[in-house]
Structure 1
């Protein structure tokens, strides 16, 4: 699990998705995005 205590930009998120896609994972994965303020 990856967590951040700051924010992530749309550009950073797209880069993350590209890196995940490049891993060649052949099974479904879930990515949970939570923008709630705590």
Structure 2
């Protein structure tokens, strides 16, 4: 039980990190687009 909870926590942390990275990349891409204009 404890192991599965830890695994779930790690899985959610990895997913959250990926989402944060994706948002940062999209924001930086939007910033580059506005600078080009």
TM-score normalised by structure 1 residue count? 0.40
TM-score normalised by structure 2 residue count? 0.41
Question: Which has the larger share of helix?
Answer: 2
